[in-house]
Chain A
Amino acid sequence: MSIPIISEADRLRREVLAYVIKAVKAGTYADIDRIPIMMRPKGQPFSRCCIYKDRAALRYRAMSALGYRVEDETDELKTLASYAEDIATNPPATDPFLTIFEDACSACMESQIMVTNMCRGCLARPCTNVCPRKAIQVRNGRARISHELCINCGKCADVCRYHAIIQVPLACADACPVGAIGKTDDGRVTVDHEKCIRCGKCIKACPFAAIMQSNQVAHVVRAIAEGRKVIALVAPAINGFFPTEPGRLYGALRKIGFADVYEVAIGGDDTAIAEAEEWAERKAAGAPFMTTSCCPAWIECVERHIPEIKPYVSSTPTPMAFADRRAKKDHPDALTVFIGPCMAKRTEAHKHGSPDYVITAEEIGAWLMAENIQLDAVEPEPPAVAGTQYGAEFAISGGVANAVAHYLPEGVAKPTVFKINGLNKKNLALLRVFAKTKKAPAEIIEVMVCSGGCVAGPCAISTQEEATKTIQARRPQDFQA
């Protein structure tokens, strides 16, 4: 069993978020300027080439925590404190939320298969035999790969008995399911925002933490500090991340100033009910299949890469949209804030103009750190509106299709289900084929861009396995999976 780890990049990001939140809440903006020095004091160990680069990276991390994109910087001497002051008048950066600190990018080499000097130029030469493109030849006692011919399949690496052939990854580009990542002339990362589906996989993948996202939590903290009425829309995945009953988290949210809590699981129920009806209608009209619509990165993928599949994509609003509608209806004067594990939800909210803000599990966790709230010491409180377990399991791969099946109108046969559990280059091609041939292996195609579902989102806190277990442990007796 592999050991789950948290990366140093995740730790730094959360630490910066917590310090920023603390300062914004207290209005002590000058403290934010101290963050880089506090976290990398003179004479202490550093992680990049020198302490100064570490501090520069922390400055940009703080900027993104305050809701800015690194690219927004026009004056390098502008202090973090004045960025924090500007929150009062400036809304947070908008889509694309991805932001790159170019100087942190290590300009890694292109993803490729490489022969190392462990190669002994052996007699057996299985690498030359296994290569489907005849891209390997042995010259001067060593295997050589022609990179014009090589298709990076890695078969040679698998058969070499000396482990002399390695696959050199380009972490960000390999993680990107849609080929949105390119390189500048000097080898640094660039993101083509026209192609990018906002999934956030590259943020997790980059070992140098050069890719970041602009946050919105500082604006929410500020709104609450100013006395605005703010409603939390809590995504079901969130209730898998904290080792406590949901009520304690809701109590904690009230404690830090949210006026009330709506479970997005209720929106999940709304979505499943509407989607079940939609499927019944579509099926009656002869539709061969329908894909789910709740994953916002999938919707971006449809629009940017597979427009031909659009007629087969459910047009039912997402759980976030339904939950937001409920909250806005009950509290027209309130700001609504979605709290989830997802980056693409920010883009969804931006496109629809609501909810007002989207913050991540990391941002809310850092907020609890900043306020030193211990969940086990908080009295559990019920949410204003709760969802069912079916709605809650939207966060887990398979859960959406299961909920749709549960809410089918009477007399409609249970649809067959095919799951895209984690979008990658391969199954993206498959989805294209479904659209082209108007044929799919099942009636409902559940698409989740993150492998495992939202519980494995790019801004998750605990491991996907733990979060899944935690959510499923709440299944009532009569739950049908």
Chain B
Amino acid sequence: MADHVTVEICMGTTCYMMGSAQMAGMAERLPEEWKDRVTITGKRCTGACQKAGQYGRAPFVRVNGELIGAADEGKVLAAIRDLLEA
């Protein structure tokens, strides 16, 4: 079980277009009991989206370093839960 979880959302152009725009404001939507145990930050494009045929794998999010492709808020929340409540 982790004490603290860091969520890094790629805010690069491809990721933003493919779904991270919808994750804006996610910190406020976290369950109350998680709020001081989760840090959410934005990241720049790592270039992962630019490999051939990879647009569809964006947006990329890292939860405590673990990479989630085609991420959305639901997937990220599930990953946080696994870490905080496992």
A: which residues have CB within 8 A of B? 1, 3-6, 11-12, 14-15, 18-19, 38-39, 241-243, 362, 365-366, 368-369, 372-376, 461-463, 465-466
A463 and B24 form a contact (CB under 8 A): yes
A373 to B70, CA, bound (A): 20
Q: What would 5 more interface pairs be, CB under 8 Å, given A5-B74, A15-B55?
A: A3-B74, A12-B56, A374-B44, A462-B24, A466-B21
- Say which size band chain B's interface belongs to: 20 to 34
A432 to B14, CA, bound (A): 44
Chain A residues near B41 (CB, 8 Å)? Answer: none
Nearest first, the 3 A-B pairs at minimum CB distance are A462-B21, A365-B17, A4-B22
A375 and B56 form a contact (CB under 8 A): no
A306 to B16, CA, bound (A): 40
Q: Take A243-B11, A372-B50, A374-B45 as given contacts and tell me if A6 and B24 are in contact as well, using a CB distance cutoff of 8 Å.
A: no
Q: Which residue on B lies nearest to A37, using beta carbons?
A: B53
Q: Which of B49, B55, B73 has the most CB of A within 10 A?
A: B55
A466 and B17 form a contact (CB under 8 A): no
A366 to B17, CA, bound (A): 7
A311 to B52, CA, bound (A): 56
A241 to B50, CA, bound (A): 22
Q: Take A11-B56, A372-B50, A376-B44 as given contacts and tell me if A3 and B29 are in contact as well, using a CB distance cutoff of 8 Å.
A: yes
Q: Which of B23-62 contact A (CB under 8 A)?
A: 24-25, 28-29, 44-45, 49-50, 52-53, 55-56
Name A's interface SS: helix
Q: List 23 A-B contacts (CB under 8 A).
A: A3-B73, A3-B74, A4-B73, A5-B22, A14-B18, A15-B18, A15-B55, A15-B56, A18-B14, A19-B55, A241-B21, A243-B16, A243-B24, A366-B17, A369-B17, A369-B49, A369-B55, A372-B13, A374-B44, A374-B45, A375-B13, A463-B24, A463-B25
Q: Take A368-B13, A369-B17 as given contacts and tell me if A39 and B73 are in contact as well, using a CB distance cutoff of 8 Å.
A: no
A14 and B17 form a contact (CB under 8 A): yes
A463 and B22 form a contact (CB under 8 A): yes
A463 to B18, CA, bound (A): 13
Chain A residues near B25 (CB, 8 Å)? Answer: 4, 463, 465-466
Question: Looking at the complex, which one of A19, A39, A461, A465 makes contact with B17 (CB distance below 8 Å)?
Answer: A461
